[in-house]
């Protein structure tokens, strides 16, 4: 994960996550021995992967798989390809997955994998050999009942297909449930592409209902117009909310009468995937976009967008975090004092991991669900999770973010106590 620098301060979203974990752990007076278990990953595997490059030379790549927790079930979490991959980062991201799976009640622990490489400089053949070599090296630690990887930064359905193929060859049996985020023809799930944005919409709808906000009279600004941002914008618009601002890397676009999201998506598709040149809104900076007069703000681009430097200027009543880590922990108190409600990332964007769970379930059943069934079940999971967090916030008198961590930590800690440790 990138460490961003704003006004001289270095932000690290993983430290932000840990500081919230600490607050929640204190609030529930987490048993110190369970605390020790939860701050350490259960298992770390590092493999050196020698690959023949297209020019005939051999390069050795470092790959990791970290299983932070398997208390609630097999660990689950993506594999990323990036030069910034370090073991520390993978360890922290694996812990993040433990809380995300637990808060929505998935029977999974947290895991994460990564290979330090620059996929942009590699050919498809080199990437395939690297991916297959990683799958072979990890074949004893991953598996449908052990640890189920998925795509993350710079990996997608193609890499997942190679991993299923390699793993299945090694085990001598076709095993699609070893991984999620597969192509549809290899056991991927209907609804997976829209799942995260859909979960953001359901979280937003639940929060609006608790706060007595009428969708028809509400406005929303969405930062980021990729998979999560564009789909969240489309589905929140369908609730009757007016989307007055959208943005991507090219900048922000503001129209107080409302932006037609379907039109913006079509524009982006025709325009090489960017909003550059979009005329249905006045061009503004991404910083100004966050500070617009709006009822709802959905940061769905990247980490550390709301920090102590701009939190005071945020005018939204409700923030629904589509991205991972868009708010740094030093902004939390400022937002609380302003009375701004935040549906945190580990809850709001957990629709993706929920449908990944459904993909695994379908693979194990040997059956395909319709998109309608996937959506109905995922919506129910997200709604229940929100209600659970809301109740925890009332009980512990804390914001929804800390309540989400409380719900997640309690589930893992209570189960860990029942399972016990070596005595
Ligand atoms: P994506 O690459 O599809 O889209 C990212 C969008 O953000 C693009 O529109 C890009 O132009 C824009 N962007 C990048 N830098 C920006 C900036 N400085 N200001 C404004 N916009 C900027 O990525 P995605 O899959 O939509 O993921 C977005 C966020 O959601 C990430 O934090 C990701 O970790 C998180 N997330 C994604 C999923 C998923 O299923 N895709 C699940 C959970 C969390």
CATH number of 337's domain: 3.40.50.720
Structural domain includes residue 365: no
Helix (H) or strand (E) holding 396: helix 371-396
The finding on whether 138 has its CB within 6 A of some atom of ligand 1 is no
State in Å: Cα 170 to ligand 1 middle. 35
Tell me, what's the pLDDT at 5?
61
pLDDT band of 3, cuts 50, 70, 90 = low
The finding on whether 229 has its CB within 6 A of some atom of ligand 1 is yes
262 and 222 both lie in a single domain: yes
144 and 264 both lie in a single domain: no
CATH number at residue 52: 3.40.50.10860
Structural domain includes residue 10: no
Average pLDDT over every residue of 241-246: 98
Tell me, what's the pLDDT at 219?
98
242 and 267 both lie in a single domain: yes
| Residue 8: pLDDT over 70 | no
Centre a 10 Å sphere on the Cβ of residue 395 and count the other Cβ atoms it contains: 10
254 and 149 both lie in a single domain: no
pLDDT band of 382, cuts 50, 70, 90 = very high
- Ligand 1 pocket test, pick from 289, 301, 304 with the greatest ligand atom count within 8 Å of Cβ, gives 301
272 and 320 both lie in a single domain: yes
175 and 205 both lie in a single domain: no
Structural domain includes residue 334: yes
Structural domain includes residue 138: yes
158 and 227 both lie in a single domain: no
Structural domain span for residue 223: 195-348
Structural domain includes residue 15: no
Burial of 201 (0-12, 13-18, 19+ CB in 10 A): buried
Tens-digit pLDDT profile for residues 313-346 = 999 999 999 999 999 999 999 999 999 999 999 9
Structural domain includes residue 54: yes
Tell me, what's the pLDDT at 4?
62
Contacts (Cβ under 8 Å, ≥6 apart) of 272: none
| Residue 12: pLDDT over 80 | no
Q: Rounded to the nearest 10 degrees, how much is the dihedral formed by the CA atoms of 87, 88, 94, 95?
A: 160
> Can you tell me the distance from the alpha carbon of 244 to that of 237, in angstroms, rounded to the nearest whole number?
10
Closest ligand 1 atom to the C-alpha of 325?
Answer: 32
Tens-digit pLDDT profile for residues 45-95 = 999 999 999 999 999 999 999 999 999 999 999 999 999 999 999 999 999
Closest ligand 1 atom to the C-alpha of 228?
Answer: 26
> Can you tell me the distance from the alpha carbon of 230 to that of 291, in angstroms, rounded to the nearest whole number?
20
161 and 132 both lie in a single domain: yes
pLDDT band of 16, cuts 50, 70, 90 = confident
218 and 329 both lie in a single domain: yes
Total domains present in the chain: 2
The first and second tokens of residue 369, run together, are 């669900």
149 and 279 both lie in a single domain: no
Q: Which residue in this structure is represented by tokens 């990036």? A: 82
Identify the domain boundary among 123, 147, 181: 181
- Closest by Cα among 161, 162, 192 to 362: 192
* Assessment of whether the complete model's pTM goes beyond 0.85: yes
Identify the domain boundary among 316, 348, 380: 348
Tens-digit pLDDT profile for residues 108-166 = 999 999 999 999 999 999 999 999 999 999 999 999 999 999 999 999 999 999 999 99
205 and 175 both lie in a single domain: no
| Residue 6: pLDDT over 70 | no
Closest ligand 1 atom to the C-alpha of 345?
Answer: 44
Closest ligand 1 atom to the C-alpha of 303?
Answer: 32
State in Å: Cα 326 to ligand 1 middle. 10
- Ligand 1 pocket test, pick from 100, 225, 228, 378 with the greatest ligand atom count within 8 Å of Cβ, gives 228
State in Å: Cα 79 to ligand 1 middle. 16
State in Å: Cα 32 to ligand 1 middle. 37
DSSP code, position 143: B
The finding on whether 286 has its CB within 6 A of some atom of ligand 1 is yes
State in Å: Cα 275 to ligand 1 middle. 14
Structural domain includes residue 142: yes
Q: 112 an active-site residue? A: yes
174 and 268 both lie in a single domain: no
DSSP code, position 240: T
| Residue 13: pLDDT over 90 | no
Structural domain includes residue 234: yes
Query: For all residues of the chain together, what is the average pLDDT?
Result: 96
């Amino acid at each position: 994960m990138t460490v961003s620098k704003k006004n001289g301060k270095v932000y690290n979203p993983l430290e932000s996550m840990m500081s919230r974990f600490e607050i929640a752990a204190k609030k529930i007076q987490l048993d110190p021995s369970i605390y020790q278990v939860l701050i350490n990953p259960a298992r770390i595997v590092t493999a050196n992967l020698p690959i023949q490059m297209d020019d005939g030379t051999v390069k050795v790549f470092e790959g990791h798989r970290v299983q932070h927790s398997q208390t609630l079930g097999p660990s689950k979490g993506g594999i990323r390809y990036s030069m910034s991959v370090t073991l520390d980062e993978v360890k922290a991201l694996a812990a993040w997955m433990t809380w995300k799976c637990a808060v929505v009640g998935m029977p999974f622990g947290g895991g994460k994998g990564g290979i330090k490489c620059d996929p942009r400089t590699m050919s498809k053949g080199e990437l395939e050999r690297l991916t297959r070599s990683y799958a072979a090296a990890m074949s004893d630690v991953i598996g449908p009942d052990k640890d189920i990887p998925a795509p993350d930064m710079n990996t997608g359905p193609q890499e997942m297909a190679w991993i299923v193929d390699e793993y299945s060859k090694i085990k001598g049996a076709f095993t699609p449930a070893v991984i999620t985020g597969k192509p549809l023809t290899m056991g991927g799930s209907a609804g997976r592409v829209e799942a995260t944005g859909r979960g953001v919409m359901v979280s937003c709808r639940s929060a609006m209902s608790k706060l007595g906000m009428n969708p028809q009279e509400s406005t929303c600004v969405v930062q980021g117009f990729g998979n999560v941002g564009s789909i969240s914008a489309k589905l929140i618009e369908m609730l009757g909310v007016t989307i007055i601002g959208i943005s991507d890397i090219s900048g922000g676009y503001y129209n107080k009468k409302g932006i037609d999201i379907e039109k913006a998506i079509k524009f982006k598709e025709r325009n090489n995937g960017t909003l550059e040149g979009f005329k249905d809104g006045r061009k503004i900076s991404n910083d100004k976009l966050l500070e617009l007069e709006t009822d709802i703000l959905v940061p769905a681009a990247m980490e550390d967008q709301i920090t102590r430097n701009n939190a005071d200027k945020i005018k939204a009543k409700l923030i629904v975090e589509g991205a991972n880590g868009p708010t740094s922990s030093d902004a939390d108190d400022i937002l609380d004092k302003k009375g701004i409600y935040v549906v945190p990332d580990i809850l709001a964007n957990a629709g993706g991991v929920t449908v990944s769970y459904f993909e695994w379930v379908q693979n194990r059943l040997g059956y395909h669900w319709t998109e309608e069934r996937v959506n109905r079940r995922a919506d129910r999971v997200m709604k229940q999770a929100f209600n659970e967090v809301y109740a925890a916030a009332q009980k512990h008198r804390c914001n929804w973010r800390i309540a989400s961590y409380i719900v997640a930590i309690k589930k893992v800690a209570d189960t860990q106590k029942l399972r016990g440790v070596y005595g």
